[in-house]
Each structure stands twice: as structure tokens, then as C-alpha cells.
Structure 1
Amino acid sequence: MFEQQSIKITDATFQNSLEITNWYFRQVSDTSNEASGIVDKYWHKAKPGTNGQQVHLDLLHNKLIPDPFIDDNEKIVQWVGQADWEYGADFTVDGVNDCKSYYLVFDGLDTFASIYLNDKLILESDNSFRKYKIDVLEEIRSTNKLRIVFKSSLREGRLLEKKFGHLDCWNGESSRVYVRKPQYHYGWDWGPLLLTCGPWRPVTLHCGPYVEDFFVQYSLNEALTQAELTFGVDLVLPKEEESSTMQISIIGPDGLVDTIETSVVKASTTIHYALKNIKLWFPAGHGDQNLYTFKLHLCERVVDETKTGFRKIELIQDSDKIGRSFYFKINNIPIFMKGSCWIPAHSFISDLTTKDYEDWIQLAISGNQNMLRVWGGGIYETDDFYRICDEKGVLVWQDFMFGCAVYPAHNEFVDNVRQEVIDQLKRLRKYACIAIYAGNNEDYQVLEVLQDQDPSYTKFPARVIYEEVLPKLVADLTAQTAYRFGSPYSDTGIHTADLTIGDIHQWNVWHGTQEPYQDWGKLAGRFVSEFGMLALPDYSTLDQAITRKEQLFPQSYLMDHHNKSTGFERRLALYVMENFALPVNFNLKTWVYITQVMQSDCLSLAYRYWIRKWKDFACGGALVWQLNDCWPVTSWSIADFNHAPKLAYYGIKRECAATGIACYRVKERIGDPHEPENLAEQTPLHDYVAKYSYSLDVWCFSDDELHNLSASISLYDKTGKLLETQEKVDITLAKNSVTDVLTSFTSPNLDGNCIIELLLLNEEGEVMHRSSDWPSPLKYLDWKVLNEGLKLSYEEIDNKTIRVSTNRPVKSLRISLETKESYHLCDNGFDLFPGDPRIITVEHTDQKLAPVNFEHIV
């Protein structure tokens, strides 16, 4: 009925394998719902060409469900997660009796699965994140039928919850805590509720001996010039068999080869070797991403290959005048972490390609980011993800897969998690990019909130997992990679909100107390591993996701459906209305623009103020929530589901440049001699006689040591008239440091209404970096006066480059091209000043540059 795969045993001595790809599927139970979509029980061919199978993708491929990402079709397909599904595949083995061993290896089964080979039950699984190896020597035939029956995770989870008891969680329903599957499938405050299932990772038949694990661990000498290597080789061999002579070749980044010979080896072998004159691996912007290739030769052929980079990564937590530091040293160099949190880039991860991962990670690199945090409610990412991070120099903060909940810890659950973590750590330990592991995302924070509500609350069974099981496994398997009990976690009585120790998730902008984002400087922690601000995606993304065009307006039902954040109407309006005046011609396109400008201003200020705190290591890094989306949605992402960067992406890129300049306008109330000396006791709020003084702090930051730089600080009045320009020369910047350029600078022209432009110039007088500071809130500026006589102009230098200039200060200039083809700009949403034209490069596929449009605050 369906295509049959075949494997021929050409060499029974080693490494014959067949990856199963010819899947077909069917529904094997109904949902007791007359409205459920599929009406037949016939087999259907699964979608070809994916990286694993997930039932929603296969149903969509067969046109049995509508696209869950379009309109509100998510609601229509809920029955899929309530049904049971069966996958099947047929294969033949030519020369079946020529091999002495057969194993089926399942890299990922989502989630409650019963596996049959030739109608014999060979495995029952209940963990999406585990790898299963099954000896099928007794079951294998010349012609074989493999079947996998997946029970509804929703129903099975609810049965487990009924058996073991209710536990609290944020996002999704509470039964999810008993189910070891991607938690975001249950719906999140940025993602849909789509409970998929299937063989979502490769299923492989191994015939004869094969390499189960080939890994390299190492320790570096003090000078970081030599690596003491420990090779581990685990072979799956027929009983009482040995393999022949083994050889390992080491190919350095320069192509030079070392060779290690050894004698006859058994199923498990360890080899030690000293490699001299090594070249280190560095994160992007701080050195090369040197990777070494290790090839395993058995039976006179290459049977496995792995890569790694040599680097020393330390999490520095030293006591200081604030509390305790939290920053990373890479190869003995302190480096400020500038990056993003990463969620799965698709609700159905099997549909992602290697190119998708390359594009996303390149987006982070191009945005001057050096760390991604793999969030604990998603998946342990694909090998493509970590490999590309290794190649491009992106460090990874890796959460274990627990998110926003109180998890159980009965014996079966802990044993299941233990094996899950062993499987994942064995897979991940070769990647140079992984800098730290964290036990969970916000589980300690959930506990604290529950205890605030009820001081007698003590239920937190998974503590044994986070504080005993995981740290031991990380220490045993990953050569002492840093580990934290959770994120956020502070090692104090205030586990998750202590600004003096550990990492924090700073959500008192947007969530929590909903502070003004201008106060980010007061909200810094020692390492901010989450913070964010909501904004709409690109208009084209909404236009694709909402086909009922009468719904394309800001407050429509479908617009709200594609926004899962609780209370987003109030909070988004709060931050927009506090800071911006809405234009008269208000529509969805202007709402997209104004929310993106607000998000950009908000997040840019966070990086600006927290990078300044890198001085004396007061803050060691900032990871915005979040880089990406898993479907077309309004969320905290800085690039939407279609990879379109929001204006915040560019704002963060500017703040995280390798070398830059920034400022802070200090406002202080002047004491009145007729009032009490203590300013707090003076007439508050509506004292219109009160006076204020203003001063300016200007600083620079750099990843490299630089000399003979200069800075230009220009002040414009609220009409756009240039008042004065100050120059600062002979500036020297230290490597990986923040340098004060001006402290408490004052001028008669410096007040709360002036516009400040900053330029950092190199020795030749060329602009290296730009920054600006505008009156706050922006809504009080008279934009009609400021834009009077404005002349924006641009010229095409070539079909990839334009020059943009202005005669008056312009805020948040957004450039767009009139094309349906994809394109990417080197910068966007930037402030533009007279006398400083901008050169913008455009990556696009058209032969000719499309017409250019401008949008700015008016």
C-alpha cells in the first residue's frame, strides 16, 4: 500500500543502518466529540521531508485539518490532541541472517507510545526527551512491519494527575507537570494549545555492530595551550565479540592531523591523549571559533565523527560590595553577555530545516548577541541548533525541561527524568557553546508566589531533582559545566528576586508592579536572564495569518486570538499611552509601528543602562525575552514568526555594538530654602514652584582596547534647533570595559526638553557609533513644530545600498521596501540628525532595489 524501505547487509562486520522515513498514520480512537474532524480510520501517508513526524503536520499535509496558525483554526483542531494515533512503516532486510545483532533506536517519541515490531510489543515509552534502544534480534524478519500507537497525552496526563494529585502551574493545564513532553504544547502566554504527537525524532534500525557513543572530554592546562583528552567509545557488539583495531584521527582547524592508534577494543573503551599547541574556541567578537574534528576508524573505515572546541568557561560569583557577582569568563576573559531567550521556533518542530536554524542564529549574531538561553518549557534543541552555535560563536544557557510549575517527584517520575537527562547530557556534552545548565524555568518563583498567598504552603517535591539529581549528573557527565538550581535563583532566602545575588527575571516592567521602563537602571540584577516588552509583529505576518480581512484592525477578535498574553490590552495601552501620542490616522499599520517603537525604546534603554553596570561587574549580562516566536502572534519577541525583525531587534543591535557610546540624563530637584531640608518632606507632586537641575553622564564601552577616539555631544532644542556641540578628545577605551567620558556634565542648554545627539569617532574622524536621548515622555514633544520644514532624502548608491539624510532631528525612522520579496536591512527604526547621513545596506533577492518608504514619529 505504501512505499517500503529496504536495507541490504553488505558488510556484517560493522555499521549497517536504516533510518525509517516512509511513515503512514491513522486515527485509532475518537474523541467522543461529534465535531471531531477526521471521519475515516484509513491509513494516510505522512508528510515526507520533515525531520520526524508530528500528527498535525501529517494531517495538514493530507488536507484533513485546516492550518492551525491561520485565523482561529487553533480552536477547530483541538480534537487532535484528544485522540489516539497510530504510525506505521514497512521495511525489508536483505540478508537478514548475515547479522548477529539488530537494534531499533528511537531518538524521540511524543509521548505515550506502544511500539510493535511484526505485531510483538517491544517497548512502551512515556518521555519525549528520552532515547530508547531495543534489541530486536528475535523479532526481525526479511519483511517487517513497525507500528507505534500514541495515546492522547492530555488524557494520560489527567489520569496521572488523578492518581498522584493536583500540582500548581502557570500556563497550560496542571496535568502537564506529569507528562514529559514539550510543555509549550499545552499553550503559553505567547503560544497556541496544540497537543501533537508522533515519532518526532529519527527512528533507526542498526544491523550488526555500531557506535552508540563517541565522545571527547578534556581538561586544559593553566596556560590554555594543551588539552588532556579523554576519548570514550561505546560500541554495541554481539555478545562476546570484540572489534578490530581502532584508530582516532584529530583534524585541527588548520587542517593538521594527529593520529591515535590502539589495539583490539571491547564494547566500552577509554583512551587518553595529550594535544599540544591547541587553538581555543571563542564566542563571536572575541576570537575565532576554532573547532577540532575527531574521526573514529574501525574495520579500516570511518564509522563515527564528532567535533568540539576547546575553551575554558567560568561562572564568577565573588563576594563584593553589592552582594555576589554573576558573570562569565571565557578563556580567562570577562565578557558581558548580550543576548536573547530562545523558545522553540515552531509549534511543530519537525517542520524546521537546517536553514531555519541558520537564519535564526545568524539573526542573533548580526544583532551583536553572544548568548541564547534555551528556555525550560520547550525542547532540548536539535543538534543543528548547537552545531551552528558552535560554528558561529553563540554561547548557550541551557535550561532543563521544567517550566513555571510545581513538578512531582515520585520514584517513577524521578527515574524517568534521570534517564532523560543522561540521554541529553551525553548528546550535548560535545558542544563548545554550552556555558551553563539551569534546573528549571521559574519553578522556584512559582513556589514563592504560592507561599506568599499561603505561608503554610510547602509542597515542592521536585526540589530533589533540581538540587540533587541534576547537579550530580551535570558534574559526572559534562566536566564540571556550571549548574544552577533554577532560573531565576539567588541562593538566598529570597530565591528569585534578590538583586544582589544570582540571576533574576525582571518582569516589573510589563508584569508585576509595571514600572516605567525609563527606570530600568534601578531594576538591574547581577545577571538579568529574562525581561521584555510586548509589540505587534510585522504587518505582513498579520496579513498572512488573518485571512478575514475585516478583522485586520487593532481590537478585533482575531487580532486578540493571535495574542495569548493575559491583560495585554491594558498593559500594552499603558506603555504606549504613557509615552507616545497616537496619530490621527490611527489604523493597524500605525499600531504595529507605534508598539514596535515603544518596544524598541524600552528594551534599548535596558541594555544601555545595564551595560553601564558592567563596570565593576555590577551586572554580568542581559538576555531579552525573547528572540523568536513559534507561530504568528503578538508577543515579546524581537523578530516575528516569519523571521521579520521588529524595530526592537535593531535597537538592541545598536546598544550591543562591539564599541559604542551612551548617556543618561540626570534630573535632580533643587532644594527650596523655604521648605524642609529633607526633600522628601517638601511639597510633593503638584509643587509648580519646584525647580530641577540637569546633568549628563556619558560613557563608552568596547570589546577591544582602542585609542585616540573622540566624542561629540550635541544639544538641540525642542524645535530642532542646534544649541551647542561639545567635543571630548583623546579617549582611550579598555578591552571589555566601560569607560566614563563625561560625568555630571552641565550646560545652560541642558534641560528636560532638549534632544541629545552623541557620536563616537575614530582617529580619522569617522563615526563609529551613534546614540541619542530624547525628552521623556515623547508624547509631550510638539511634533508638528519639530517636523515643520522636515526634508528627508535618500539616494541609491547601488541596488544594495542607500544613503538617508535629514535637515532636522527625526525619531525612529522606519524604512520599508515596496516588494513582496524578502529583504533584510542592516539597521532600522533609528534616530537621524542633520549632518550625519546614514548608509543602509539591503539584503534582498530582487535585481533592482524596490521603492523605499519612510515612517517616523509625527
Structure 2
Amino acid sequence: MTYQGCSVFIYLSFIFLFSGSNSTRITLTGDNWLVSNGSTLRATGAVPGTIHTILLSAKMIDDPYWGFGDTSMRSLIYQSWTFTKNFSLQVGFLNLTQFTLHFDQIDTVSNITLNECFLGNTSSMFIAYTFSVQRTCLHTDNVLRVEFMSPVTYALNQAISYNKTVQPTCPSSVQHGECHVQFIRKEPCSFSWDWGPAFAPIGITGNVYLEGINSSVPPLQLDSVNVISQSSTTKMWQVDVRLSGGDNTTMYKFNFQLKKTAWSFNTTVRFNQKITVTLSVPNEHVQLWWPNGYGDQPLYELIVSNNNQSIDSRFIGFRTVELVQSNYSDSINGTSFYFRINSRPIFIKGSNWIPPDSFQERVTNEKLEQLLTSAKLANMNMLRIWGGGIYERDYFYEIADRLGIMLWHDFMFACSLYPVDDAFLLNVRNEILYQVERLQSHPSIVLWAGNNENEMILAYYTKIIPPEEREPLRNDYRKLYIYTIMAAVAEVDPNGSRPFVPSSPSNGLESAKENYTAQNPQDPLFGDVHYYNYFMDTWKPDNYPIVRFMSETGVESMPSIETWQQVSNSTKDWNFRSALVQNREHHGNGQEEM
């Protein structure tokens, strides 16, 4: 259905959420968002949604995957777009005291106004945004407007204004991609990859809601729960609970209860914006969480209450994680690199995880369940969340927790050098603080990795640039991954509940000895390795190198005929040398290598 300029005001139902003080949330997620490029295209659609999926739903474009859609629809992402929501508020809500507008995820660069009041802007799809709303900006009938800038234009402008060239500036021409992706905190592969298209979606990809509270004091909030370790002497588990809100003049009584156990704990604390309450859970109250194939995955709901009123809860599992990097005997060079869970060595069997769709709003929870269950049934026990994609939605990690699928989790930096100006580093720091705090309750996450292949990229460029430029480039690398990312992880998780490696691949502790910038980060005697060989017989195990840990490997293949039928109804397109096949081959010499 196209939008013809009418004003539609939607009366929204109330959802009451209670914490330290009453709060009311009004959801703005769902239908009746008006999307326009300001001139030729206007449509109504649903949020979460992006311009491609909304225009597709309105029957204004074909499915972007059809035919040559990745290139023929490219003009859509060169334009600015506005998402508008008209909605009404009841008097009861308007009589509340404080108001905030929340975006769980937004992709990516936008300015946000409510009834012509400017609330703020966004510059990262990897951060949830909360904007304070003045009472004078709220009316009975309201207009929320999110004005998006083209991500391609934004990345170009950032690159132009930066004080030096950051390599690589553009992807290989065979990828039909867009340039300067390292200058925007957006899904890296959305600008193209050697396996995927450049759709660079624009839109609101998470929940949106307006919240009001009837108090001048911020509501109490459960920010994170982190199972740190088990003491071998006291037989107690340390669990850190981070809380925020409240005021510093009140003593707050908290109760912590672990459901389906007899354990609970009461304490009284005073707030200073954020606090961490450390709990000690006796070993006899809980069972260990194990990876798939090694035991069960018991999960426990930790409920946090204030004055007998529930604030929030998290499901947690109890397990210890060690990344063992020990010297071998004098006759064997190198160090080990393996995981020990609950003091037991684990043989890793797994795969790498990339986003299942170019448009994440099309990925249902049922699809995630099916994909991760398939991994479990294939006897996998680990997936590597690849650093060229996205941080997945909460439900993904909940499934992994239930199925015993361990997660090696990259942060979203891949195959590139990056800018290191103050604004960029602050954006990254906020991203890491937010994501680690959001995700660290999940027992399935057993490792954080700073990036995908960027230490390797650094090693390549330092070999081809003048000697006097090499150390400044290494310093830039350390500024991002060591002094910003590693430091932010340590700030949220000071007790190190899971290991951190600055890059994948890397030489692990050996890279640290070279100040985290090894000349050869792919040394098979240390750390992890990414291995590709398109010419060997991959069915023969002896053809693979003997390494300490292979965290990425793969080969190309053609899709099945059933897959081709979903993107073309012309049999000529299914020829190995057809124009469509060549367009979708993003790996140089890929057809010849296959």
C-alpha cells in the first residue's frame, strides 16, 4: 500500500512494567510506518524493517535476491530516507513525569525528531539508543521522524575528512561493492564480501518504544549478570550483578533468587548511578553447563527484586572457561591452543556463522532455531560469530545456551585497517561496553575476539609501505584493539569470565610478545589459523596443515538447482558461465578454481 500523504494516528495499547517506580511503555514497533525518499518512492510498512523489505512488502520492487537485484537496486542506498510514525497518546501517559524514547537497533546514520523537537542522532547499528524527551515535546497526536543518510555517502564523507588514507579503500571490483566500509559502524559485509551482495540496508531493525515514569528518580534496572568463576577452596560460584538507576540518597533492599533452587540472597545497598553486587552461590545448589556432547545444559533464572517487586531476570549457566596456551616439551615447538570447560579439555567441532540473510528482519526465530539445531545434530559444539557480520539478537544466544553450542565471538571489525580518531574510538568503546554487558550472561559465549583477520591485514600492509610508516600503523592498530576494545572488555568484565584474543587469526600469547602485531599472525605453531586452499583434494585429511587451532577454513561450491530457482526462472541463468552466475561470483578466479 502506498502512502498518499494522509495523516494516520494510531492509538497504542499500554504495557505496564514495574521496577523501583512505575513505568509505562508504549510500543512503536509494528505497522503503519511511512517510508519516503522525499520524491519518487513512498510506502507504508512495518518496523523492524528496512527500505528494501518495506518496498518489497508494498509490491514496489521485486525481491532483492531476484536476478541482478543486488546491482540494479543499488540507487536505493545512495539516497536519503525518512521513516515517519504518527501516533496518539492518552492523557494518563502525558501526566507522567519523565519520558524516554528507545531504539534497540537502528541502521545506521540518522537524525531523530519528535514533533519537531530534535532528540539526537545515531551513528552505529551496534548500540541501543535512548533519548530523553521533554514533556513539552509530547502531544495527544505525535509525529516521530527518523531521517536517514545514505550509508555509502556517510562512509565516503568520513573517509574524505579523515587525515589519511585507510586501506583497503574499496573492495575488489569483482564484488560489485561499496567503498570505505571501515568508516561506518555498520554490518561490514553489507557493503559486499567475497561471498555476498552489497545491499547496505537502511532502516529501523529493532524494537522502538516510548517510556514514561511517574517519578523524578530513574527506575532500577538490571544491566547484566556474569558468572565469573568457581573457587576451588570455598566451592562457591562468583556471580556479578550490575544494576543502575535509583538515587544516591536511598538505601535499596534487594533480593536475589535462583529459581528451581533453594538459594537466595538479601542485601541493602546505596546507588551511585551503577553498582555491582557480587553474589556467592554454593556449588551444591547448581549443576554444571556443558558443551554439546559432553553433558547437559542446565540453565537457572536469576530473579532480582526490590522490596518484593521484581525488577528483571536473566537465565545463566554455571561453567568455567580456560583457553590453554602452554609450552610443549623441549622436542616440540610452539604452544597449545585449546579450550578447557569445567577443567575438561574439549575437542572443538564447528563452523563459522555469517548473517543468515542480508536483511535481518527476514530471519525468524524459527529459522535461527532450525539452523542451530542443525549444527547440534551434526555434532558441532562451537560456532564462530564472524567479525564481518552482526551481533545477533538475544534469542540466538538463548538457543546456543540451550543446545550447548559454544560461541567464539568476534567483534564486528573485519579484513581492514580502521580509523582511530577520537570520535570513532568513542563510538567503538560505547559499542563494546554495550554488547559485552548485554551478552555476558550467556554461558555459550566462551571467547571474545577483537576482529577478523585485521592483524593479518596489518602484517600485509606493513610489508609494502615505507619503513618509517610501519610503526605508526602498528600504533593505530593497538590504539583500537588493545587500548580501546580490550580495555572496554576488561572494564565490563574485570574478573575475566572468558578469554579475549585481539584478533583471529593470531599467534595468541606469542602475538602479545610482539606487542600484538606479529609479523606472521598465521604461524601454525601458535594460536589459531585461517586456511584456504582451492586446489587440493579436500576429502583427504592429510592435505590439511597440522595447526594448533583452525578457526576458519572453507571451499567454494555452486548452489543447488533448487536455490537457483528461487532467484531466476530462466534456465539459461543456471549455466556455469551465465551472466547471472558471473555476477554472483565475488571471489576472483572463483569459477576457474571450482
Q: Common fold, TM-score beyond 0.5?
A: yes
Q: 1:365 to 1:302 in 2, by over 3 A?
A: same
Q: 1:66 to 1:361 in 2, by over 3 A?
A: same
User: Which secondary structure state, in structure 2, belongs to the residue aligned with residue 133 of structure 1?
Assistant: strand
- Alpha-carbon distance between aligned partners in 2 of 1:115 and 1:270, rounded to the nearest angstrom: 33
The answer to whether structure 1 residue 70 and structure 2 residue 80 are counterparts is: no
User: 1:196 maps to what in 2?
Assistant: 201
Q: Name the aligned partner's letter for residue 397 of structure 2.
A: Y
CA contact (8 A) 1:489 1:496 kept: yes
Q: 1:9 to 1:536 in 2, by over 3 A?
A: closer
User: 2:588 maps to what in 1?
Assistant: 566
Give the drift of 1:162.
0.9
The answer to whether structure 1 residue 229 and structure 2 residue 239 are counterparts is: yes
When Rg is computed on C-alpha atoms for both structures, the one with the higher figure is 1
- Alpha-carbon distance between aligned partners in 2 of 1:268 and 1:163, rounded to the nearest angstrom: 37
Give the drift of 1:156.
1.1
CA contact (8 A) 2:159 2:165 kept: yes
- Could you list the per-position Cα deviations for residues 8-29 of structure 1 after superposition, in whole angstroms to 9, with x for gaps in the alignment? 5878932321231145233335
User: 2:153 maps to what in 1?
Assistant: 155
Q: 1:55 to 1:210 in 2, by over 3 A?
A: farther
Gaps of 5+ in 2: 1-6, 172-176
- Alpha-carbon distance between aligned partners in 1 of 2:419 and 2:125, rounded to the nearest angstrom: 17
The answer to whether structure 1 residue 272 and structure 2 residue 309 are counterparts is: no
- Could you list the per-position Cα deviations for residues 609-651 of structure 1 after superposition, in whole angstroms to 9, with x for gaps in the alignment? xxxxxxxxxxxxxxxxxxxxxxxxxxxxxxxxxxxxxxxxxxx
1:391 to 397, 402, 413: 402
- Alpha-carbon distance between aligned partners in 2 of 1:332 and 1:9, rounded to the nearest angstrom: 45
Give the drift of 1:99.
2.0
CA contact (8 A) 1:402 1:439 kept: yes
CA contact (8 A) 1:9 1:99 kept: no
Give the drift of 1:338.
0.8
Q: 1:96 to 1:16 in 2, by over 3 A?
A: closer
Percent identity between the two aligned chains: 26
User: Which secondary structure state, in structure 2, belongs to the residue aligned with residue 496 of structure 1?
Assistant: coil
- Could you list the per-position Cα deviations for residues 272-315 of structure 1 after superposition, in whole angstroms to 9, with x for gaps in the alignment? 33221121111111011011101223464433121111110000
User: 1:556 maps to what in 2?
Assistant: 578
- Alpha-carbon distance between aligned partners in 1 of 2:159 and 2:379, rounded to the nearest angstrom: 44
User: 1:144 maps to what in 2?
Assistant: 142
CA contact (8 A) 1:245 1:298 kept: yes
Give the drift of 1:409.
0.3
User: 2:52 maps to what in 1?
Assistant: 56
User: 1:337 maps to what in 2?
Assistant: 348
User: 1:425 maps to what in 2?
Assistant: 436
User: 2:10 maps to what in 1?
Assistant: 4
Give the drift of 1:7.
4.8
The answer to whether structure 1 residue 377 and structure 2 residue 398 are counterparts is: no
Give the drift of 1:204.
2.1
CA contact (8 A) 2:15 2:25 kept: no
User: 2:75 maps to what in 1?
Assistant: 79
1:500 to 509, 517, 525: 525
- Alpha-carbon distance between aligned partners in 2 of 1:452 and 1:515, rounded to the nearest angstrom: 28
Give the drift of 1:5.
4.1
CA contact (8 A) 1:342 1:374 kept: yes
1:18 to 2, 19, 26: 26
User: 1:576 maps to what in 2?
Assistant: none
User: Which secondary structure state, in structure 1, belongs to the residue aligned with residue 89 of structure 2?
Assistant: strand
- Alpha-carbon distance between aligned partners in 1 of 2:307 and 2:24, rounded to the nearest angstrom: 13
Moved more, 304-313 or 546-555: 546-555
- Alpha-carbon distance between aligned partners in 2 of 1:10 and 1:108, rounded to the nearest angstrom: 22
- Could you list the per-position Cα deviations for residues 208-231 of structure 1 after superposition, in whole angstroms to 9, with x for gaps in the alignment? 154443422333112795313332
Q: 1:264 to 1:407 in 2, by over 3 A?
A: closer
User: Which secondary structure state, in structure 1, belongs to the residue aligned with residue 106 of structure 2?
Assistant: coil
1:103 to 100, 108, 115: 100
2:486 to 454, 460, 471: 471
CA contact (8 A) 1:402 1:440 kept: yes
The answer to whether structure 1 residue 135 and structure 2 residue 132 are counterparts is: yes
User: Which secondary structure state, in structure 2, belongs to the residue aligned with residue 337 of structure 1?
Assistant: coil
Give the drift of 1:263.
4.5
Give the drift of 1:201.
1.5
- Alpha-carbon distance between aligned partners in 2 of 1:191 and 1:398, rounded to the nearest angstrom: 21
1:283 to 281, 286, 291: 291
Q: 1:148 to 1:520 in 2, by over 3 A?
A: farther
User: Which secondary structure state, in structure 1, belongs to the residue aligned with residue 145 of structure 2?
Assistant: strand
- Alpha-carbon distance between aligned partners in 2 of 1:298 and 1:5, rounded to the nearest angstrom: 32
Give the drift of 1:417.
0.5
CA contact (8 A) 1:403 1:443 kept: yes
Q: 1:224 to 1:542 in 2, by over 3 A?
A: farther
- Alpha-carbon distance between aligned partners in 1 of 2:379 and 2:107, rounded to the nearest angstrom: 36
User: 1:742 maps to what in 2?
Assistant: none
- Could you list the per-position Cα deviations for residues 8-65 of structure 1 after superposition, in whole angstroms to 9, with x for gaps in the alignment? 58789323212311452333356xxxxxxxx24x4x2113xx6x22111111111122
Give the drift of 1:329.
0.2
CA contact (8 A) 2:248 2:270 kept: no
Give the drift of 1:529.
0.8
Cα-Cα RMSD: 2.4
Q: Name the aligned partner's letter for residue 232 of structure 1.
A: R
Q: 1:75 to 1:10 in 2, by over 3 A?
A: closer
Q: RCO higher in 1 or 2 (8 Å CA, sep ≥ 6)?
A: 2
CA contact (8 A) 2:166 2:418 kept: yes
- Alpha-carbon distance between aligned partners in 1 of 2:32 and 2:435, rounded to the nearest angstrom: 25
CA contact (8 A) 1:104 1:203 kept: yes
User: 1:46 maps to what in 2?
Assistant: 45
User: Which secondary structure state, in structure 2, belongs to the residue aligned with residue 523 of structure 1?
Assistant: coil
Q: Name the aligned partner's letter for residue 448 of structure 2.
A: Y
1:175 to 175, 180, 199: 180
- Alpha-carbon distance between aligned partners in 1 of 2:459 and 2:149, rounded to the nearest angstrom: 35
Q: Name the aligned partner's letter for residue 68 of structure 2.
A: D
- Alpha-carbon distance between aligned partners in 2 of 1:136 and 1:369, rounded to the nearest angstrom: 47
User: Which secondary structure state, in structure 2, belongs to the residue aligned with residue 417 of structure 1?
Assistant: helix
User: 2:174 maps to what in 1?
Assistant: none
Moved more, 239-248 or 102-111: 239-248
User: Which secondary structure state, in structure 1, belongs to the residue aligned with residue 203 of structure 2?
Assistant: coil
Q: Normalized against structure 2, the TM-score is what?
A: 0.87
User: Which secondary structure state, in structure 2, belongs to the residue aligned with residue 196 of structure 1?
Assistant: coil
User: Which secondary structure state, in structure 1, belongs to the residue aligned with residue 107 of structure 2?
Assistant: coil
Q: 1:3 to 1:372 in 2, by over 3 A?
A: farther
CA contact (8 A) 1:116 1:148 kept: yes
Give the drift of 1:199.
1.4
Give the drift of 1:410.
0.7
CA contact (8 A) 1:117 1:145 kept: yes
- Alpha-carbon distance between aligned partners in 1 of 2:53 and 2:483, rounded to the nearest angstrom: 39
2:502 to 485, 492, 505: 485
- Could you list the per-position Cα deviations for residues 426-459 of structure 1 after superposition, in whole angstroms to 9, with x for gaps in the alignment? 1011110111111111112222222344463523
Moved more, 522-531 or 450-459: 450-459
The answer to whether structure 1 residue 118 and structure 2 residue 115 are counterparts is: yes
Give the drift of 1:88.
1.5
- Alpha-carbon distance between aligned partners in 2 of 1:395 and 1:455, rounded to the nearest angstrom: 42
- Alpha-carbon distance between aligned partners in 1 of 2:545 and 2:466, rounded to the nearest angstrom: 26
CA contact (8 A) 2:527 2:548 kept: yes
CA contact (8 A) 1:9 1:93 kept: no
Q: 1:136 to 1:272 in 2, by over 3 A?
A: same
User: 1:682 maps to what in 2?
Assistant: none
- Could you list the per-position Cα deviations for residues 342-385 of structure 1 after superposition, in whole angstroms to 9, with x for gaps in the alignment? 00111001111111110110111111111100111111111111
Q: Name the aligned partner's letter for residue 570 of structure 1.
A: E
Q: 1:262 to 1:451 in 2, by over 3 A?
A: closer
